[in-house]
Structure 1
């Protein structure tokens, strides 16, 4: 099974939030709230799988709710968190 170590799988944040790729900001926000309520860890008595799902939903929303991050994600297919820690003056 050589080669599997170099493979990086990327999450499809649109599928995580159960929205279409051309979803509006309102639809993204609506589905985020619906899923966050459904998968909130307080409702599931400390189930680690539920906590992981909840964190995944939050991660997807952080990216898709920010226009710059969403555009970058749409273009590259992945999201690099370090890219947004510093703003570069004169970009675009």
Structure 2
């Protein structure tokens, strides 16, 4: 329904399914029940808004430039994550 009150009909094939809100900030996109372009972008936007710029997509790491300095690349963080198994750590360039 538009602000004017008009109703717009769309074809069911043009609608992508959405995930429940508990999946908004998942660390790995492969666990999304509905894995489609809009749900991936929604998850990445939610994580970015929370300064969670690293996200796994299976064994791949997606990193979005935060356009600001974040204290997540310090030597202390690198040492904490060094030698850890990926599945046991949050998404990070050092994990």
Q: Which has the higher strand share?
A: 2
**TM-score (normalizing by structure 2):** 0.26
Question: TM-score, normalized by length of structure 1?
Answer: 0.27
- The structure number with the bigger radius of gyration is 2
